[in-house]
Structure 1
């Protein structure tokens, strides 16, 4: 993200290169002006200087993990309702990203897509990193990069000299009549230890779309729980132990049409059923950073348990994953060159289960062992990052086994030019040996009804990423102590051998599919996509700030095409671009007690589409925010936000469309949404 040298982002997340103070990133790299590092949103700091990640989410009143990305042009969440949302980063769908919560990989989708964009209360977030750069230490399956959520510790919420504290919050949103509330307790246990407990709840009705009318089966109930025990650095040691649980319950269609595919008002094929999604994550992390340049050690283990249950027949789809990683970063000096060399291993094993009251219990395993080396070097005006990753993978596809190994190199460089300008470029490869098929679909694979890749062995999904551009950083240009940053980036992600389901009859449980196969469930074929997909385009960014005012603009133009340059549209679990997209965000700290904000989102018409997809209208959204702290501290915070102020009727361009009787149907997004929140801090 382009932002001032304070290193705190008050907006949502921006892309790869950023200027932030020297600090340790989550991957062991150094967050510095070298910018060969991920972008980071952090809590903490002076909110009147630049704001904080926590303050920004409060200002926007984000109520789900999807809304963390609302102010960023290169990250879009399509799908509409909570159970249908998908995240796209530079056009790459999140199934092709390494998404983690406190280091716990979120793994494959459960059914359709549910489980991919993880449920988490934004009030718990300490930092979020989006990292589209090529790097070996991003973790397994990072075909398009990584997204890392990090939750708060007690020490993050305690003021200096404070031993205990509590935070109570309540809010309301008009578009879906949502009622929200949370309680967080935190305190010190001795000099080094801290403990935190959080519980949050949100009840949503079906939301109102722009211009009137409601989107059926879009409501639900969220519950969030977090318990954290943390030890701040003492003698170089830091320890974090955590347990999280998120549940989302509601009545939704279970098949594809009307669930995440099309508008359920027009395309509903099956009666909605009660469903509960649940995620339980257990994490342990130890970090050791003594006064020794050769030791910066981190060890992390986790257990992630995701479950989707149909409450009408007690059928459940579940993914239980165990994993972890070990790494050390060596800081080396060689003449004028300074190296930060990260060496490590990561591993996971995922057991995808289908648990049925009447029928066999099925299990599908996948695993990945990765070894990586990444050197980040600085020599005068030149910065280089070079690395290599080895992945050994295996995935059970019922009738076949996908296994093998792959070596993935990367190389990036930056050169400081003159007068604040920097040129940068990078290339990297990645592999995904687990595939992206939802676990729930695997139960329909059988030798008679499923064509498995024409009998050929499956290949792992692979990507090649390229980027390059220019960046400018300056100060004191228009007024004293102002700051200006500009950036232009060309990028391309090429994904090949994507594993996909190709079924000309729709959902395997739909009436149309049953008719085609004499009433029996049928999946047409599972195969490696024969044609690669290129997600390519450019980003433009500008940020300027002076005193208590900050403004920033991000623009992305991207397309999804095949190797011949023909458009491929939006593809499930792969990617999609949409029309040109611009986000302009402003924040003004009018007074030490009052902060105002305005966000414009402009999306152009999307007309370069395949013959079997509809052209899509562009849209303009206006969001306004106000945050008031009567006593100029955190004892009481009152916030007002109005999203989609003019009640625009629209659908995001990455939402999936379905054709029926010659018409295309796409799920529309919420209309005008007035949000109010009050937070008490003791």
Structure 2
């Protein structure tokens, strides 16, 4: 059953609307609002992402990839070395990065940790229509972000009023219509935003955005379909009061509610009719905060946060609630021949996990955590053309995390971890940098891994004389955190119209947490099992000539891994992958036509001997500012509808036309 049966026809109307309006365009120059500067994920300071000592990829809201996205898979699928598991359902989306699965990659929404962990369900509960920017920082980043930041950090930032207001405006509205043929989806988002200057010199600004979408069965690569019937309602309310140039109070509420009829395991492709169930997923993220900005190079954000996720089914329910307080800042000091850039902060939170009904693998438990971190970058020297030996950066940082968990039966787990980081960079000139660094990272066990004690699955008979009993989870409160030690080296080089970023990493991981199932004993428990080595590289090459209206880029990534004891492949590995792109800006118009190619070498399926073929996929996309008030974005993914697989064996996305038309007034 599908709710939205006319998506293809509606997309045709999306295309006709801007074509008709373009004929009556006044020809006025387009004013595209600039995104406000953001602290860069991976440094926690305002840094040029090109010359940051790690690989950071940024997707902003003007990119058709984000503008047309209806789910996280649409946003992240093009990132080399980053994989989204699942079969297109929002509830089943999880990621892997640099050899680490979902538990080793930290996800943040407006700075708030998103880490509910239950069965095959994911932790991406957000509407892409409300996003202004996505940053993907690769590498061991526990020295800044604590637990889970072993393979990297993915930060989602929602839109604000200043992102939509054009110069000279004090208010406005924006209506966005979107659709995707592969999920037979139609959606709309209405945003109201504005600002007001008060008589005392302060100012107020705010935004309210309401979204609604409905989708049906999902079409995967090669034409295979998997059942889905879902509706999504979203709300974003944000506001700020600029008391003085130095002080700002802000508040936000991000609400997500999806009602879906889908399989018990939303990551499955083939589903039996009796395996479908109704599932309501609700996520709320609230913030109250204060920002102090006494200088351009100084800022301190302090916020009180409440995050709550509820997953309700007919016979089971799961709730995770996290109340936290955090304060993060940066400050730059000049000492004549020496300068310092400090990033610092503290955080504390209380998380409560509550099961309902027959929920399995989601025990009643709670956890308290606290952290302090400091990162200091010292800069000294002059470039070679200024008579010096080059400019040098020495970065020293560490974060101390402690957590205490306890379940309903009083079983406790009390651990702490210090995550140091060391970096050295040399810039012989203003357009060339070499860097190297060492970092330690960790991942604390989840409450489910520590305390699950419910029935895992029922017993069954393999033959007339061989039967196995019911299988039950066994708690393991002595479970140790996963840890890793990483070396990473790279360069950033800007030469003429070209830009090159590259890095190589080598990670030694300890105490991977795995699930040990004993069929005949009827037990399942989480255990620390292995030592691993993970290594690979990331490369980004950009070409932006000023003389012709073309831009091009190439991204490469590969991750290899092995168990250091047995020598067997280990980790969420990545074959050699490439993402290539070419964009043409048409003269005299605000129209950009682009091509994207996604390529991968043949590889072995994770954990199995089965070989999966390589692939070459092609997309086309269009970004068009039809008039100052009307814009359109289109993306046609996997044009040939080629059948392809991710490293975990999941079937990739199929041919789909994604569209967005926005009218602002």
- Name the counterpart of 2:630: 636
Which residue in 1 is equivalent to 2:108?
A: 100
| 1:674 equivalent in alignment to 2:657 | yes
Partner Cα separation in structure 1 for residue 103 and residue 120 of structure 2: 9
Match of 1:174 in 2: 181
Residues 1:155 and 2:162 aligned together: yes
Q: How far apart, in 2, do the equivalents of 1:152 and 1:323 lie?
A: 22
Corresponding position of 2:530? 531
In structure 1, how many angstroms separate the alpha carbons of the residues matched to 2:125 and 2:362? 26
What residue number does 1:129 align with? 135
| CA 394–63 in structure 1, closer or farther in 2 if over 3 Å, else same | same
Q: Find the aligned partners of 2:273 and 2:175 in 1 and give their Cα distance.
A: 42
Question: Comparing both structures, which one devotes a greater share of its residues to strand?
Answer: 2
- CA offset digits 1:647-682 (Å, max 9, x no partner): 111221234xxxxxxxxxxx4233211223321111
Question: CA offset at residue 99 of structure 1?
Answer: 1.5
Q: Is the 8 A contact 2:55 2:503 kept in 1?
A: no
The Cα of 1:458 is off from its aligned counterpart by 1.9
1:650 to 640, 644, 652: 644
Pick from 573, 576, 581 the counterpart of residue 577 of structure 1.
573
**Secondary structure of 2:604's aligned partner:** coil
In 1, the alpha carbon distance for the partners of 2:404 and 2:140 equals 23
Whole-angstrom CA distance in 2 between matches of 1:534 and 1:374: 27
| Residue in 2 that maps onto 1:425 | 436
Change (3 A) 1:307 1:439: farther
Q: Provide, for residues 550-595 of structure 1, a one-character-per-residue CA deviation record: whole Å limited to 9, x for no partner.
A: 21111111123211473435xxxxx511321100022222143311
Question: Counterparts of 1:36 and 1:108 in 2: how far apart (Å)?
Answer: 30
* Corresponding residue of 1:85: 93
8 Å CA contact 1:353–1:364 kept in 2: the answer is: yes
- Is the contact between residue 128 and residue 148 of structure 1 (CA under 8 Å) also seen in structure 2? yes
Q: Aligned pair count? A: 599
Of 501, 508, 520 in structure 2, the residue corresponding to residue 494 of structure 1 is: 508
- Contact persistence 1:171–1:180 (CA under 8 A): yes
Q: 1:55 corresponds to which residue?
A: 62
Which residues in structure 2 correspond to 1:207-606 (within 5 Å)?
207-216=218-227, 218-232=228-242, 234-255=244-265, 259-260=266-267, 263-265=269-271, 271-291=275-295, 296-310=299-313, 312-313=314-315, 315-356=316-357, 363-380=364-381, 381-396=391-406, 400-417=411-428, 420-435=431-446, 437=448, 443-444=454-455, 449-452=472-475, 457-475=478-496, 483-503=497-517, 523-528=523-528, 530-547=529-546, 548-564=549-565, 566-569=567-570, 575-591=571-587, 592-606=589-603
Distance 1:645 1:372, change over 3 A: same
| 2:46 counterpart residue number | 30
User: Comparing 600-609 with 163-172, which one deviates more in the overlay?
Assistant: 600-609
User: Take 2:64 and 2:568, find their aligned partners in 1: how far apart are those partners?
Assistant: 36
Tell me by how many angstroms 1:229 deviates.
0.8
Q: 2:79 matched to 1:72?
A: yes
CA distance in 2, matches of 1:602, 1:163: 46
Partner secondary structure for residue 546 of structure 1: coil
2:22 equivalent in structure 1? none
Equivalent residue of 1:137, what SS?
Answer: helix
Cα gap change, 1:564/1:540 in structure 2, threshold over 3 Å: closer, same or farther? farther
Task: Answer whether contact 1:154 1:230 (CA < 8 A) is retained.
Answer: no
CA contact (8 A) 1:396 1:402 kept: yes
The 3-state SS of whatever aligns with 1:92 is coil
- TM-score normalized with structure 2 length: 0.83
Instruction: Indicate conservation of the 8 Å contact 1:339/1:378, yes or no.
Output: yes
Cα distance in 2 for partners of 1:36, 1:232 equals: 33
Distance 1:139 1:129, change over 3 A: farther
Deviations 1:106-158 (A, max 9, x none): 1231x224242x22222322222222244522244322232211111112211
State the 4+ residue runs in structure 1 displaced beyond 6 angstroms.
20-23, 357-361
Matched, 1:625 2:621: yes
Q: 1:435–1:460: 8 Å Cα contact kept in structure 2?
A: no
Question: Which has the larger displacement, 553-562 or 460-469?
Answer: 460-469
Q: Distance in 2 between matches of 1:358 and 1:95?
A: 21
TM-score, with normalisation over the residues of structure 1?
0.81
Q: Secondary structure at the match of 1:31?
A: coil
- 3-state DSSP class of the match of 2:80? coil
Is residue 390–residue 407 contact of structure 1 (8 Å, CA) maintained in 2?
A: yes
Contact 1:578 1:654 in 2 (8 A): no
5+ long unaligned stretches in structure 2: 1-31, 382-390, 458-470
Mapped partners of 2:76, 2:108: distance in 1:
15
Question: In 1, Cα distance between the equivalents of 2:427 and 2:559?
Answer: 27
CA distance in 2, matches of 1:677, 1:605: 34
- Give how far 1:227 is off: 0.7
Q: Is the 8 A contact 2:363 2:448 kept in 1?
A: no
C-alpha distance in 2 between matches for 1:462 and 1:533 = 10
How far, CA to CA, are the matches of 1:21 and 1:87 in structure 2?
28
Mapped contact 1:103–1:302 kept (Cα < 8 A): no
1:412 and 1:389, CA in 2 relative to 1: closer, same or farther beyond 3 A?
A: same
Deviation larger for 601-610 or 148-157: 601-610
Partners of 1:325 and 1:347 within 8 A in 2: yes
User: Secondary structure at 2:647's aligned position in 1?
Assistant: coil
Verify the 8 A CA contact 1:452 1:527 in the aligned structure 2.
no
Q: CA deviation at 1:236?
A: 1.0
Q: RMSD between aligned alpha carbons?
A: 3.2
| 2:484 and 2:509 in contact (8 A); partners too | yes
